[in-house]
Structure 1
Amino acid sequence: MKAYVFPGQGAQFTGMGKDLYDTYPAAKELFLKADEILGFEISKIMFEGTAEELKETKVTQPAIFIHSVVLAKMMGDDFAPDMVAGHSLGELSALTAAGALTFEDGLKIVSKRALAMQAACEHQASTMAAIIGMADEDVEKVCKDVEGVVVAANYNCPGQLVISGAIPAVEKACEILKEKGAKRALILPVGGAFHSPLMEPAREELAKAIESTEFNKPMCPIYQNVSTFAVENTDDIKTNLIYQLTAPVKWTQSIQEMIKDGATEFIEVGPGKALQGLIKKIDRSTTVSQGSVAE
């Protein structure tokens, strides 16, 4: 069975999507539509912007979504998933590619999500850190014992867990985790504590946008970050999407569930190859590849 997976923040690069824009009139149309919806030329920033410009949250999230969804659409009949999943922001790309959302509605939600997360970051100084080489339960225990807000945020693959929270609490947790034998405890260059309780103001903002948008049943099950198992019911999809901002991204668990349900081949659709690397670390027996348009 084929599983299509969609990347999240961090996959962006200068020139992303330009080949699609230049080659396919239908892709060009979608890029121009995105510029119109967002009210600024995101296509120009995607094709020519600096790494700094691409790192702005209001740009990064829509840029990765646009690249991923346009690529899926240009794949035509070759985009034939038995199941889909997306890492954090990628969940919205997955839902749109699988027909649960229109391109316009998906992009509007992504833009609102980005701006709401940015506002939550400005509300309280916070950060995230990657913990390498330690069992998930050991990291969780340290987070629980540290004073202040610090939680497990991204279960990326065995031995790689990202924690998230208030700066002093994250720093303290990193210190303790290093003492307890973590290979690395590295503060990440991010704007705030994504997938933690500190994103509550953003979650409330996003809930309004999601609840007022019409969702269709996707063409195949989606394995969502919050629940990790196959979901097709639109009410459940909406609920999981809303809680994703304050809950951890259970990527390891989602991939394991997809494999259990029969996935043998994982195709990454969008910029970069980060998810392929993580999936191989979760289960070496899987086949991974990059989604591309048939010549």
Structure 2
Amino acid sequence: MATTTAGKPSVMRRILTFPLTWMIIGTVFVFLTNAILVGVGSEMDATGVIVTALIGAAAGLVFYQLTMWLVARRRTPELTVRGIGRETFLGLAIGVLFIAVSYLIVVATGAYTVTWAPHDVTTTVALALAVNAGAAIVEELTFRGLLFQGVEQLCGPRVGRWIALAVTAAFFGGAHLLNPGATLWSSLAIAIEAGVLLGAAFMWRRNLWFVFGIHFAWNVIEGLLGIPVSGHRDPGLFVTTVHGDGLLSGGAFGLEASFVPVLVSLAVAIPMLVAARRRRVAPTRSAAARVRLEAVGR
């Protein structure tokens, strides 16, 4: 590390390790690389789309690590390989449960008619898995990896994570305003059901593999059920036809614009936030107890 004659980090090093700096650098590289690859893939056949999506996800992971190591000069425990299988599986299970419950509630109201209509099952499933893996990884590296942790560090240990939760949720909802069929309501719904839920998941586990799992399972299940994913409809194994009030069904934007998953997501996110708070308090109390014991020993 470059230092001044007094042994302190140089001005350039302080600029680079400032949270806003590495947030911007990391976001540009992770998103720009993925956008270029997605653009290239869109001009190719299904195999090309799958390959470029997976390369984009891998490149995002590499650029994220490089940004944290070389620019922010911090470790990345949020991407540790220890427990990767457990964290990913837990995230997948929660993501599947969240979408399944939301979907079945809407189906039970009669707002959806579901028809089995597969076409080239292997290609359809492969595309859904690859494209949504790329999207989940890139979006979570950006919003929960870079933006959340950057805002958290900027705002300090006491309130930083709560401000980061609010800021990233708002940005995540706002980013989806550009999607087909988006409205102010759909953006607000995504800010709550995705921004808050995924932020709460990260606060609880402090593990990006866990958050990847939730996001990935969510998008894949929606897509295969034939529901637009944030306004984007791709071929699925089913065709889901919408009936009635868009506030219930989500309309052309998809399930995410329904009030049902908003309520279900809060039912999932609130226990996570409670668990995150308890997890944060427990080490603090333990540290205080050690200080008291040391004082008694002296």
Is the radius of gyration larger for structure 1 or structure 2?
Answer: 2
Which structure exhibits the higher relative contact order, with contacts defined as CA atoms closer than 8 Å and separated by 6 or more residues? 1
TM over 0.5: no
Bigger fraction of residues in helix: 2
